[in-house]
Amino acid sequence: MRTSIATVCLSGTLEEKLHACAQAGFDGVEIFEQDLLVSPHSPAEIRALAAELGLSLDLYQPFRDFEGVDEELLADNLYRAEAKFRLMRELGMDLMLLCSNVGTATIDDDETAAAQLRTLGDLAARYGIRIAYEALAWGKFVNDFEHACRLVELADHPNVGTCLDSFHILSRGWDPAGIEKIPAEKIFFVQLADAPQLSMDILSWSRHYRVFPGEGAWELDKFLGHLVRSGYTGPVSLEIFNDVFRQADEVRTAVDAMRSLIWLAERTWVHLQQTDGPDAHYPMELATLPQVPEPTGFNFAEVKAESTKKLQTLLGQLGFACRGRHRTKPVQLWTQGRARIIINGQQARNQEPAIAALGFDVADPVRAASRAMQLKAAPVPRQSQADEEVLQAVSAPDTTEVFLCQGTPDGTAAWTREFGRPADAAAPAGRELISHVDHVNLAQPWQHFDESVLFYESTLALSPSPSTEVPSPVGLVRSQVMRTRDGAVRLALNIAPLVMEKPGPSSESAYPQHIAFACTDVIALARDAVGRGLEFLKIPANYYADLQARFRLAPELLATLQELNLLYDRDQHGEFLHFYTATVGSVFFEVVERRNGYDGYGAPNAPVRLAAQYLLTKQG
């Protein structure tokens, strides 16, 4: 599959955009006209730069408001077109996108429109150029891809074909199965966009909210499947108008884009295998990736800190014990049950403690790393001694290091043998009530949220749950859980809105990250922790009055919850009891007890937590 991307998807100058596309590995680009108009580089210079970068210039776009007009306007439009054909010749380009007329069309007659397309085809042929005619979803007389194809058929000109755009087809609810009936040689170009399921006017939806395939709500694997069956072999291109991408780093966006296409190709291949059988063959080749099953658990979580003392104290109070020190580095391993926390003292000076890495148990780390790398994940450079286990790691969009670790049936981890038992190793302070890591909550920069979701879904095979919104005192937090079907791995990604104009909290301190531990008796653990002097996040009394009104809890339970700063929730399955520790740097811990298959995360309690943490940032 040849990959392409429209320059309008990316931030920056045309020169910066082309460099980013090449760096991300695209085969070609669509030149969005405005990017060229505002560029100080001549068409010949752009042509040379693209050649140097190994990018083909696939489509010049858009040309607008051509067909369905009177003779006088037609003459003007042909004049406009010829000027662009000359320009395209300087660029060395041979394919132009023509959008169906949205503004100036006055004649709603297919024969007329087709005849005018034919005239344009004649003119284009003189310049060796072909025209890809596309139905815009809001076209005045033509807004349906099958209608556009009928006009192309009527025009009956070798230089006039169609361009298919998933946005314009799926946003209107047209059935993409019709694509299979279009003669492949008449499909001159294909543009893909995904979009969240919004009910808003199509133009605004299209201009601001498009996202890369896999980041929205549409089944683009099926869409692409229809195209593959049609026999099309040309470029599959991305055309995404998105306000956030316009502001973000163009290389990141281009990599995100490329990942989305690679993943879409794989999903389409799987879809076609399932529907057409393993023996079906198509002219378009779809590269596939090493398949990986879902991870089976968290292997470890690593917290970096310049000063590790507070973290050690907190973990000790939760019943963790230091089980080892790394032989060569200032790194400690703290465990309880199958929960492993690495405290890494190699943090840069003045850096607050922060979650630095997560290890996931996978069936085949080398295969999983290979898949991630093929999905353009950046490998984490790791220095290891000769006798150390080589761990596979890639960097997530929020810079968290993702380690792909060998899962074992008994939940042990081979790398722990690199940690010698410390001379001062204490026995655990009491009962081991924590069994494993229940979930991890990572704050995401809002401009990379979609990228993060796609990253974890495509590389780690985690699935997104429906997202929720949580009010905090400094903004609305969007929370998106990525998880395995069995719940063994649950990762909550929170968009942290920018903290503006508020003295006191920074984005980091207002939205700390956390690791939640699963426990079989949170009340007993909380009592133990109280005895060990744990600083709990203080929950306001008003919360408990409301809890009582909502759930009619037994007075003794309510009193215990309030005494221990425990929070409570209930779903159709069971109950959820949990507490939070104080925050150290940008990290805190949570301990949760799921009773009778409760499957949530205490979402109604999240605002209480955020408000309490906000208060602490104000107090210093």
Q: What does the radius of gyration of the chain's CA atoms come to, in whole angstroms? A: 29
**Cis bond upstream, residue 62 (ω within 30):** yes
Asked if 38 touches a second copy (CB under 8 A), the answer is yes
282 vs 551, beta carbon nearer a second copy: 551
Buried b (16+ CB within 10 A) or exposed e, 435-460: ebbbbbbbbbbbbbbbbbbbbbbbbb
Q: x/- contact string, 289-308, with a second copy (CB under 8 A)?
A: --------------------
Q: Do residues 69 and 77 make contact, with C-beta atoms less than 8 angstroms apart?
A: yes
Record the tokens describing residue 60, joined without a space. Answer: 């010049």
Q: Select the residue interacting with a second copy from 12, 225, 295, 512 (CB under 8 A).
A: 12
Asked if 449 touches a second copy (CB under 8 A), the answer is no
Q: x/- contact string, 87-106, with a second copy (CB under 8 A)?
A: x-------------------
90 in a known ligand binding site: no
C-alpha to C-alpha distance for 232 and 188, rounded to whole angstroms: 9
Return phi, psi of residue 29, to 5°: -140, 155
Number of neighbours of residue 325 by Cβ within 10 angstroms: 20
Q: Select the residue interacting with a second copy from 9, 18, 43, 119 (CB under 8 A).
A: 43
CA 153 to centroid of chain Cα atoms? 39
36 vs 524, beta carbon nearer a second copy: 36
Look-up of token digits 């973990």: 315
Look-up of token digits 């199965």: 177
590 in a known ligand binding site: yes
To the nearest whole angstrom, how small is the minimum distance from the Cβ of residue 307 to a second copy?
Answer: 29
Asked if 79 touches a second copy (CB under 8 A), the answer is yes
* First-last CA distance in the chain: 56
To the nearest whole angstrom, how small is the minimum distance from the Cβ of residue 459 to a second copy?
Answer: 22
Residue type, 504: G
193 vs 368, beta carbon nearer a second copy: 193
514 in a known ligand binding site: yes
DSSP-derived 3-state class of residue 612:
helix
251 vs 284, beta carbon nearer a second copy: 251
Q: Select the residue interacting with a second copy from 252, 259, 267, 340 (CB under 8 A).
A: 252
Q: Select the residue interacting with a second copy from 2, 84, 118, 147 (CB under 8 A).
A: 84
Q: x/- contact string, 174-203, with a second copy (CB under 8 A)?
A: ------------------------xxxx--
To the nearest whole angstrom, how small is the minimum distance from the Cβ of residue 16 to a second copy?
Answer: 8
Reference 434, options 564, 513, 524; nearest CA is 524
Q: Do residues 567 and 577 make contact, with C-beta atoms less than 8 angstroms apart?
A: yes
Q: In what order do the strands lie in the sheet with 331-336?
A: 378-379, 392-395, 401-406, 354-362, 297-304, 339-344, 331-336, 321-326, 419-420
Residue type, 495: I
Asked if 337 touches a second copy (CB under 8 A), the answer is no
Asked if 545 touches a second copy (CB under 8 A), the answer is yes
Reference 30, options 42, 14, 13; nearest CA is 14
Record the tokens describing residue 367, joined without a space. Answer: 């295969």
15 in a known ligand binding site: no
For every residue of 567-580, DSSP letters joined together read: EEEE-SS-EEEEEE
To the nearest whole angstrom, how small is the minimum distance from the Cβ of residue 591 to a second copy?
Answer: 21
Number of H helices, E strands in the chain: 19, 26
Record the tokens describing residue 185, joined without a space. Answer: 């040689």
Q: Tell the burial category of 231 from Cβ atoms under 10 Å away from its Cβ (0-12, 13-18, 19+).
A: middle
401-406 vs 354-362, strand pairing mode: parallel
40 vs 533, beta carbon nearer a second copy: 40
Q: x/- contact string, 548-587, with a second copy (CB under 8 A)?
A: xxx-x-----------------------------------
80 vs 140, beta carbon nearer a second copy: 80
Scan residues 214-243 and list those touching a second copy (CB under 8 A).
243
Asked if 350 touches a second copy (CB under 8 A), the answer is no
474 vs 525, beta carbon nearer a second copy: 474
Record the tokens describing residue 193, joined without a space. Answer: 């966009």
To the nearest whole angstrom, how small is the minimum distance from the Cβ of residue 474 to a second copy?
Answer: 6
191 in a known ligand binding site: yes
Asked if 401 touches a second copy (CB under 8 A), the answer is no
C-alpha to C-alpha distance for 147 and 142, rounded to whole angstroms: 6
* Region of 28-36, 49-57, 332-340, 559-567 interacting with a second copy (CB under 8 A): 28-36
Residue type, 353: P
Reference 229, options 269, 288, 287, 172; nearest CA is 269
Scan residues 490-529 and list those touching a second copy (CB under 8 A).
497-502
Q: Select the residue interacting with a second copy from 33, 58, 134, 528 (CB under 8 A).
A: 33
Scan residues 582-611 and list those touching a second copy (CB under 8 A).
607-608, 610-611
To the nearest whole angstrom, how small is the minimum distance from the Cβ of residue 139 to a second copy?
Answer: 19
70 vs 175, beta carbon nearer a second copy: 70
Asked if 541 touches a second copy (CB under 8 A), the answer is yes
Q: Tell the burial category of 158 from Cβ atoms under 10 Å away from its Cβ (0-12, 13-18, 19+).
A: exposed
227 vs 248, beta carbon nearer a second copy: 248
Asked if 348 touches a second copy (CB under 8 A), the answer is no
Please report, to the nearest 10 degrees, the dihedral formed by the alpha carbons of residues 494, 497, 499, 500 taken in order: 180
To the nearest whole angstrom, how small is the minimum distance from the Cβ of residue 246 to a second copy?
Answer: 5
C-alpha to C-alpha distance for 464 and 172, rounded to whole angstroms: 25
Q: x/- contact string, 460-479, with a second copy (CB under 8 A)?
A: ---------x-xxxxxx---
477 vs 577, beta carbon nearer a second copy: 477
Reference 188, options 139, 141, 149, 221; nearest CA is 149
Q: Do residues 520 and 528 make contact, with C-beta atoms less than 8 angstroms apart?
A: no
- Using CB under 8 A, list all residues that contact a second copy: 11-13, 16, 33-34, 36-43, 76, 79-80, 83-84, 87, 198-201, 204, 207-208, 243, 246-249, 252, 447, 469, 471-476, 497-502, 538, 540-543, 545-546, 548-550, 552, 607-608, 610-612, 614-615, 618
What are the binding residues for Mg(2+)?
439, 514, 590
What are the binding residues?
134, 165, 191, 239, 439, 514, 590
What are the binding residues for a divalent metal cation?
134, 165, 191, 239
